[in-house]
Amino acid sequence: MSTWSTLSFQDSASPLMEQMIFFHDHTMIILILITILITFMISSILLNSFMNRFLLEGQEIETFWTLAPGLLLIFIAFPSLRLLYLLDESLNPMITIKVLAHQWYWSYEYSDFPNIEFDSYMIPQNESELWNFRLLDVDNRTTLPINIPIRFLITSDDVIHSWAMPSMGMKMDAVPGRLNQSFTSINRSGLFFGQCSEICGANHSFMPIVIESIPLKSFVQWINNQSLDGWM
């Protein structure tokens, strides 16, 4: 999760987020090199007291400053297209989670398992325990297994919301009357925090998202416990 001293991305929790971070670093290296080169050229021009009065044209330098940006764009475009195709929809999700946004909480339904659905509200500050994260923890966490392809079906019951999980590289709008879908696979256990990322009303800042990722064996046990609670 983000802290006050965090300036970069959160640690990735999915393969797609890893690729996004790699692409960001790749692009930033190119931008830094361009910035250094341009700064050097500007400094040289400003500090140089000589000039060429007879310079009318320069085919070599014009060729260079035409081809160089094109090559740099190619170095950025190919990794970008690769990442775009990696972000395409997965064909074989093993678990489907339905996410319904409300003012101002989230509802989750595990469509592959009967009677497993719940609402997720932010824990108020006056009810928060010492181990809860202020304004980020919820009463019912979304429990998911690691290393399993997961599909999210996201919509809204009232206004436009946005279901965002930065550490997984996910951000999907929840639009009333429209069903959006997103895919991910969590590659490590832990707690991951997100929030609504579309201004949706007075309590927009108070509808956090918490995903708890656990091994598959523990997830199956959690599913069985939830099913028993539902029947009772």
Q: What is the pLDDT of residue 114?
A: 82
Q: What is the pLDDT of residue 231?
A: 43
Containing 33, the helix (H) or strand (E) segment is: helix 15-47
- Is there a contact between 179 and 153 (Cβ–Cβ < 8 Å)? yes
Superfamily of domain 95-230: Cupredoxins -  blue copper proteins (2.60.40.420)
Q: What is the pLDDT of residue 214?
A: 93
Q: What are the extents of the domains in the chain?
A: 15-49+58-88, 95-230
Please, which residues bridge with residue 142 across strands? 211
Distances (CA, A) of 78 to 19, 71, 85: 13, 11, 11
Residues in the chain where the model's pLDDT stays below 50:
231-232
Q: What is the pLDDT of residue 89?
A: 65
Q: Token pair for residue 86?
A: 């990696």
Q: What is the pLDDT of residue 48?
A: 81
Q: Indicate the SS3 state at residue 167.
A: helix
For the stretch 95-135, pLDDT in tens is: 999 999 999 999 999 988 888 889 999 998 888 788 888 88
Structure pTM? 0.79
Q: What is the pLDDT of residue 232?
A: 39
Non-local CB neighbours of 224 within 8 Å, separated by 6+ positions: none
Q: What is the pLDDT of residue 5?
A: 74
